[in-house]
Amino acid sequence: MEVNDFHRLYDELEISGATITGIVDNDDCGKNFYVYDIDSNKIDIWSGGPPIP
């Protein structure tokens, strides 16, 4: 799932006590982290990459 305010969402999830991984910097592909729902399903949160020229 691509989100607009990546770091804000991460901070809000962390404060709320959600089960999340650390942020991984994938260079030109953007950043991502995983959050786990109540059934332990892993959801990939992605910052999006840089704009394509």
The token pair at 27 is: 């260079």
Tell me the residue ranges of DSSP E strands in 1-53. Answer: 19-20, 24-25, 31-36, 42-46
Contact criterion met (CB below 8 Å) for 6 and 20: no
Could you read off the pLDDT of 1-53 as tens digits, one per residue?
788 899 999 999 999 999 999 999 998 889 999 999 999 999 999 998 777 77
pTM: 0.82
Measured distance CA(28)–CA(42) in Å, rounded: 23
Give the CA diameter of the chain.
40
